[in-house]
Amino acid sequence: MSHSQPASPRIDLAALRHQLLTPLNHIVGYSEMLLEDGEAQGFDSAQQNLVRIRETARDMVRTVQSSLAPHPGKRGDKIVDELRYQLAAPLHTILQALGAVTGECREGVNVPDVLKIGRAAAELLSFAAGAVAIPGTPPQRKAAPRTREKGRAGRILVVDDNRGNRELLARQLRQIGHQVTEASSGSQALQMLVQSSQDLVLLDMLMPKLDGFQVLERIKNDPQRAGTPVIVLSALNEVPGVIRCLEIGAEDYLFKPIDPALLAARIQTSLERKALREAEKQRAIELEGTRARLRYAESRLELVLRATRGTLWEWDPKTDRVISAAREEPLDRALARVHPNDRERLRAAAERALEKRTDFHCEFRALRRSGVQWMRSVGFVENGRMIGVTSESAPPGKQRRPLRHSDKRKRAPSAGRASRAGERAFLSATFSKR
């Protein structure tokens, strides 16, 4: 017995190569501009890290070009999986060097260019984590001889109180491939629209009780069914009636007796318009999802950059646990390190931000072996979780002393360690399957 292998997903390697090289070229280009801007200050550690970023990105360019070259006999999904694995380590290197650049706080650094490098790295991280759609290649179809084209088939509801008219229309529509449902009254038609989805309604105007105007108004006033196109059929050749139907929202208006070819053409046009509207709506949803993922990636990146002088953490309200680079523990245990007078205030601020989906920020006192230290936490809510950074802060109301050059040298090592810890937490959270 032979077992058929699952079809390999078709992947457009050229489109994927372009998709990945774009952010890599941004990293190379902006790092080179930052290097040129900093030449006057000498080749310091910031310059060294920028060179490291640039050269790592150039190596990644070569990896992408070689990995996505045509490989006869190799599955596209295998190629993508291997490339994701190959890009993970150099991306960590870029983020580590980027954190070091921002941690030095050197005067004259073009911060927007640094953030652009970070945004490009976040885009590549999304690919490495499997959160980016892979461009596909549509299957090749053999050219078929030209024959009479069958139009788009649809589910059509025919509404007419005259049985002969309904049966004739239904038969004509079924012959050209449509699925037809019949309704003998306006009230029955409205019930059928609630019970089953229809692509189009053919509505007779003259019916007892609920006439065509009333049925059309109820369809267009129902948010669930307002998008269903309605073609009105009527024996009354009255322009005011046509205008009224079109103003209510009818897709088209045809006079009886109806030419079958004309009706088929109008139905096709209406179905194609409906399909285009639905496709546009779906594209808008996907675009908003892409924007949301980009905002999420940028927010995480901003926290990583700020974590050069703090600790990156994540709170999952479902399990009520806090995850950081150093530990994973229940929220109550984490709050035990907070001054008793500040615990409830800190918890309330976090729960309020989570409930209202707003940014979180709170200053509080932490208990240290050396005494009490004021801390500041900031964060944001994403997918029901809160992600943030906690760092040391001056007491409220106390003027913060500007850093001298000697202070920067003294604090640089701790900033570097915090940067690496924040980046490890960021990469761990990004690559983990939620």
Q: What is the mean pLDDT of residues 150-179?
A: 85
Same domain, 249 and 308: no
Percent of the chain with pLDDT over 70: 78
The Cα–Cα gap between 137 and 15 comes to 9
Q: Which residues contact 106 (CB under 8 A, 6 or more apart)?
A: 38, 41, 44, 46
Query: What pLDDT, on the 0 to 100 scale, is given for residue 133?
Result: 65
pLDDT at 333 over 60: yes
**H/E run at residue 70:** none
- Paired with 231 in beta bridges are 202, 252
Same domain, 124 and 193: no
Same domain, 414 and 311: yes
Range with the poorest average pLDDT among 158-172, 233-247, 257-271: 233-247
User: What's 85's domain CATH number?
Assistant: 1.20.120
Does some domain include residue 346?
yes
Helix, strand, coil percentages (3-state) for the chain, rounded to 5, are 55, 15, 30
User: What's 214's domain CATH number?
Assistant: 3.40.50.2300
Does some domain include residue 193?
yes
Query: What pLDDT, on the 0 to 100 scale, is given for residue 150?
Result: 55
The Cα–Cα gap between 312 and 386 comes to 11
Same domain, 69 and 161: no
Query: What pLDDT, on the 0 to 100 scale, is given for residue 305?
Result: 57
Domain housing 303: 290-431
Whether residue 193 contacts residue 181, with contact meaning beta carbons closer than 8 Å, is answered with no
The Cα–Cα gap between 326 and 306 comes to 17
Predicted confidence band of residue 182 (pLDDT cuts 50, 70, 90): very high
Query: What pLDDT, on the 0 to 100 scale, is given for residue 352?
Result: 93
Same domain, 61 and 170: no
- How many domains in the chain? 3
User: Is the model's pTM score more than 0.85?
Assistant: no
More confident of the two residues 101 and 340? 340
More confident of the two residues 119 and 347? 347
Does some domain include residue 146?
no
Does some domain include residue 212?
yes
Predicted confidence band of residue 107 (pLDDT cuts 50, 70, 90): low
pLDDT at 308 over 70: no
Query: What pLDDT, on the 0 to 100 scale, is given for residue 306?
Result: 59
CB neighbours (10 Å) of residue 388?
24
Q: What is the mean pLDDT of residues 245-259?
A: 85
Does some domain include residue 343?
yes
Peptide bond into 257 cis (omega under 30): yes
Does some domain include residue 274?
no
pLDDT at 183 over 60: yes
Percent of the chain with pLDDT over 90: 16
Residue 15's alpha-carbon distances to 59, 80, 86, 133, in angstroms, are 20, 13, 19, 11
The Cα–Cα gap between 148 and 152 comes to 13
User: What's 306's domain CATH number?
Assistant: 3.30.450.20
Same domain, 96 and 166: no
Q: What is the mean pLDDT of residues 345-364?
A: 91
To 10 degrees, what angle do helices 260-306 and 163-175 make?
70
Query: What pLDDT, on the 0 to 100 scale, is given for residue 83?
Result: 85
Q: Which of residues 210, 235, 258 is at a domain's end?
A: 258
Same domain, 425 and 308: yes
Same domain, 164 and 296: no
pLDDT digits (tens, 9 = 90+) for 37-85: 777 666 677 888 889 899 999 999 898 888 887 777 777 778 888 888 8
The Cα–Cα gap between 309 and 311 comes to 7
